Each structure stands twice: as C-alpha cells, then as structure tokens.
Amino acid sequence: MTFEELGFIEPINKALKDMGYVEPTDIQHQAIPLVLQRKDVLGCAQTGTGKTAAFALPIIQMIHQKEIATKRRTTLRALIVTPTRELALQIDENIEAYSKYMPLKHAVIFGGVKKPAQIRALKGGVHILTATPGRLLDLMSEGYISLDDIKLFVLDEADRMLDMGFIRDIEKILKALPKKKQSLFFSATMPPNIVKLSQQILYKPIKVEAARVSSAAETVRQYVYFTNRTSKKALLQHIIKESELSQVLLFARTKHGADRICRDLKKVGMKAMAIHGNKSQPQRQKALKSFKDGKTPILVATDIASRGIDIDDLSYVINYDIPNEPETYVHRIGRTGRAGKKGRAISICEPEENQYVKDIERLMGKSITRIDDHPYPQTDKPMTAAEKKEWNKEKQLRKQQYFESRRKSRGRRPARSK
Ligand code: AMP
C-alpha cells in the first residue's frame, strides 16, 4: 500500500517523498481512509507509530481541497490539542513539512513563552492550529481565537492529558467547540476514564489500534555515559577518538544544535556533516551519499530529518541528547542493528536528562549499560524547579539577544540589487 493508493494528492505525495516516507505505517493505513470519509476515530496509538501523519495528512488534504475550508477567507478549521510543548512543536513541524507545496496556513501555541509572536501568527489567519490547553484557553479568553468555525478537532495523547491534570481545561475547550464537527481522539492507553472522555467527544467512532512500538532490537547493545552539560562536547570527542568510531549516526535535538556539534567536531579534525530541516534536498543528499560512501564518518541529524535515512550496516547511533519521549529513543536506536547485525547505541546524558533515561528503561523493560570509566563523570545535580525557571528565562533572553543582533546586522547589509 502506498500513499498514492490512500488517495493523497500530488503536493502531499511529493512532500512525503522528500521526507523519505515510502509506505504508510499501520495506524496511517487504518486511520487515514476513515478520516477522509469524515468519520470520528478513536485511535489507540503511542508516539512513534506515525499517528501524527495519520491525522495531519487527511486534515491538510481536506483543507486544501476546500472540503472543510472556505474559498475566501482563511478561517480556523482544524484544532489539534496536545499536552506538551514538545509534542505541539513536533506536530506543527510535521504539518509544515507535509504542506510545504501548498498555501496552507498553520500555527502552534503553547505556554511558557511570551504571547506576542503567537498572537501575530494568529492574526495573520490560520487554517490549522496546534495548541496546548492552557495557552489555548488563555488566548481564547483574550479574544484572539474563536473555535466557532472548527470542522475538525483532534485530541492527542488523551491519557497524558489527564495524567497532567488537564481535564478541566479540556472540558472548557469542548464547550467552546461547535456541536457539529468531526473528532479524532488518540491515546496510548484506554483506561475507563479515557473511554468515558472519548464518549463525551466522539460520535459513532470507529476504533483503530496501532501495533505498539517494538522494544529495542535485541541485537543493539546500549550504553549510557552520565556527564555534566558542560562536558558533553569533550566527552563526545573522547568517545569517538577512543573507540575509533566510524559510521556514526549522531542525533541532536535541534537544527542549531546539529550545526554546532558538526562545527565542534570539525574544529578538532573530525569529519562530520549535518542533515536537518534547514538543509536543502541536494545538501541532504550530498551528506547522505558522503556518509554512505564512507567519506564522512559522522552524520549529525535531527529526528525528523533522520526519518528518511535508510542505511544498511549502520554501526553506531549516538544520542548527544536524550529524547524526552522514550519512543523516540527506541526509534533512534532502531537505525542500527538491523537485520540481525550487531549495532551499538551510545547515549550521553546530562543531569537534566537522568529522568529521561529512567523513562526509556521503563518503556523497554530493561536497563542500559552504564559506562562509569571515563574522564568526564557527572558531578552536577539536576536543577531544582526554581533554577530551571531561571535558566529558561536566561536562555530565552539570550535567544532574543541573538535574534535582535541578527536583525540589526541584516538591517546594515546593503540592499541586494535585483
Ligand atoms: P509520530 O508517531 O507521529 O510521532 O511519528 C514518529 C516518527 O515517524 C516521526 O518522526 C515521523 O516523521 C515518522 N513517520 C511517520 N510516518 C512515517 C512513514 N509512513 N514512513 C516513515 N516515517 C514516518
């Protein structure tokens, strides 16, 4: 079964090809036809199964074909509510990638950051909004968002939503939504309180269930090095040098992070190339070819970019940061140790990520071998909530200063001749 066979239009198929998607995943295969038939869907699926595309792709197609959008004004037609800022960003990034050949407008809003940029995005007109509950209600009460014209509502990760205490918020959102709409409800687990919530939302739903994300391939040997945030760079270089690693797929959380790691490796004479969303298709292909041919031993990738990478015989996966979604870890390390071959996954963990390692071990039901014998042991403690808040504030400030200085230096550049 291909995406074309699921009935997607050319701009979507083209975008999927760019992302390296070949076949729909199990949940996509089951859910997409139902969503396109305008049915309510109750999806039992965890992160990592491809559930985002299962709801995002048909929504994009229906908006593009004006099935759930008007011809004239850009109105908010689809609302996706998800519990965390990371998930919200990830969903919106996916929507951006899937709709890159279409004039579709989308935005993402979440708490913990200032509102003006989000308000500006909303004022520009949006077809699809991805939101965390608190900020959504906040901006609704301030009059920046109306849910009156919503035709399609997605509640993502419903079980986590309840675990995080969002039930009141969800009830408020439900009240503000129009009665007549299509609803999609996704949850990794279906305990009675979730079933009850789903009954409140869905009309004659059809249940689909994705195969669970498999536990890490048995053939992958997994190691974790605990260190301090400031020692990560040195430790990475030490690990690569010491073990003379090559054929390393290294994961970074952000595009800038991937570029920085690459630069730092190059500074100490190690060959590395980065692939991520800001790189053009030819740049990505060049990096991939050089990696496959063995000319570049280290490929640094973000999670999204790595999806299109299919490399036989990949020897090592290095997690330069530990993903906060344990399923992402399982996906990352699944890139090595394929077809019964030996693979190794090495994770470099700073104090803030200690908890993520525990979550991963819980999901896999086994522990990761800890390497203590290295020159950069972890001596710092994880930050307290207050320290974290302070640190985030500083980070935000540094980011603003960075963008400000870039804006200023752009302003100084002489105008380009046409
Ligand atoms: P999700 O469960 O939606 O978070 O998706 C997990 C990962 O799988 C994401 O990085 C997606 O980009 C990727 N993905 C989703 N569908 C496909 C597909 N059909 N083929 C390859 N990768 C996919």
Percent residues over pLDDT 70 in the chain: 91
Contacts 24+ apart (CB under 8 A), 324-329: 324/86, 324/356, 324/359, 325/47, 325/48, 325/86, 326/356, 326/359, 326/360, 326/362, 326/363, 326/364, 327/46, 327/47, 327/48, 327/213, 327/363, 328/47, 328/48, 328/303, 329/356, 329/360, 329/363
Looking at residues 324-352, what average pLDDT do you find?
82
Q: Whose CA is nearest to atom 10 of ligand 1?
A: 304
Mutate to test the pocket of ligand 1, among 3, 4, 21, 22 (most ligand atoms within 8 A of CB): 21
Distance CA 251, CA 348 (A): 11
Ligand 1 atom nearest to 325, measured from its CA = 4
Q: How many CB atoms lie within 10 A of CB 312?
A: 8
Strand 298-301 and strand 316-319: the pairing is unpaired
Query: How far away, in angstroms, is 269 Cα from ligand 1 center?
Result: 34
pLDDT of 289 strictly over 60: yes
Looking at residues 269-273, what average pLDDT do you find?
93
Looking at residues 125-146, what average pLDDT do you find?
97
Percent residues over pLDDT 90 in the chain: 58
Query: How far away, in angstroms, is 74 Cα from ligand 1 center?
Result: 28
- Return the pLDDT at 278: 81
Query: How far away, in angstroms, is 33 Cα from ligand 1 center?
Result: 17
**Residue predicted with more confidence, 341 or 246:** 246
30 in the Ramachandran plot: left (φ > 0), alpha (ψ -120 to 50) or beta?
A: alpha
Q: Whose CA is nearest to atom 8 of ligand 1?
A: 50
Q: Whose CA is nearest to atom 12 of ligand 1?
A: 304
Q: Whose CA is nearest to atom 11 of ligand 1?
A: 50
Q: Whose CA is nearest to atom 20 of ligand 1?
A: 21
- 3-209: CATH superfamily: P-loop containing nucleotide triphosphate hydrolases (3.40.50.300)
Distance CA 327, CA 363 (A): 8
Looking at residues 297-324, what average pLDDT do you find?
81
What is the pTM (predicted TM-score) of this model?
0.64
Domains 3-209 and 220-388 are alike in CATH topology: yes
Q: Whose CA is nearest to atom 6 of ligand 1?
A: 48
pLDDT of 416 strictly over 50: no
Residue 284 pLDDT level (bands cut at 50, 70, 90): confident
Looking at residues 222-242, what average pLDDT do you find?
94
Token pair 């940061």 in the structure block, residue: 321
- Return the pLDDT at 50: 87
- The pLDDT mean for the chain works out to 88
Query: How far away, in angstroms, is 31 Cα from ligand 1 center?
Result: 14
CATH topology of domain 220-388: Rossmann fold (3.40.50)
CA angle centred on 410, ends 409 and 411, rounded to 5°: 90
Ligand 1 atom nearest to 20, measured from its CA = 21
Q: How many CB atoms lie within 10 A of CB 81?
A: 23
Q: Whose CA is nearest to atom 16 of ligand 1?
A: 50
Q: What's the burial of 52, exposed, middle or buried (CB within 10 Å: 0-12/13-18/19+)? A: buried
Ligand 1 atom nearest to 47, measured from its CA = 2
pLDDT digits (tens, 9 = 90+) for 353-409: 999 999 998 887 789 999 999 999 999 888 787 887 887 888 788 878 877 887 777
pLDDT of 230 strictly over 70: yes
- Ligand 1 environment, Cβ below 6 A: 21, 23-25, 28, 47-53, 303-304, 307
**Residue predicted with more confidence, 199 or 65:** 199
Distance CA 130, CA 233 (A): 34
Please report how the helices 232-242 and 255-267 are oriented relative to each other, as an axis angle in degrees rounded to 10: 60
Mutate to test the pocket of ligand 1, among 60, 90, 307 (most ligand atoms within 8 A of CB): 307
Q: Whose CA is nearest to atom 18 of ligand 1?
A: 21
- Return the pLDDT at 34: 97
Looking at residues 283-309, what average pLDDT do you find?
83
Query: How far away, in angstroms, is 47 Cα from ligand 1 center?
Result: 9
Ligand 1 atom nearest to 45, measured from its CA = 2
Distance CA 224, CA 318 (A): 10
Query: How far away, in angstroms, is 53 Cα from ligand 1 center?
Result: 7
Residue 154 pLDDT level (bands cut at 50, 70, 90): very high
Q: How many CB atoms lie within 10 A of CB 217?
A: 18
Looking at residues 332-347, what average pLDDT do you find?
78
Q: How many CB atoms lie within 10 A of CB 335?
A: 22
Ligand 1 atom nearest to 48, measured from its CA = 2
Distance CA 280, CA 258 (A): 15
Give yes or no for a contact between 265 and 216, defined as CB atoms under 8 angstroms apart: no
Looking at residues 37-59, what average pLDDT do you find?
92
Q: What is the edge-to-edge ordering of all strands in the sheet holding 182-187? A: 106-109, 128-131, 78-81, 152-155, 182-187, 41-44, 206-209
Residue 312 pLDDT level (bands cut at 50, 70, 90): low
Annotated domain spans of the chain: 3-209, 220-388
pLDDT of 417 strictly over 60: no
Query: How far away, in angstroms, is 19 Cα from ligand 1 center?
Result: 10
Residue 17 pLDDT level (bands cut at 50, 70, 90): very high
Query: How far away, in angstroms, is 40 Cα from ligand 1 center?
Result: 22
**Residue predicted with more confidence, 96 or 280:** 96
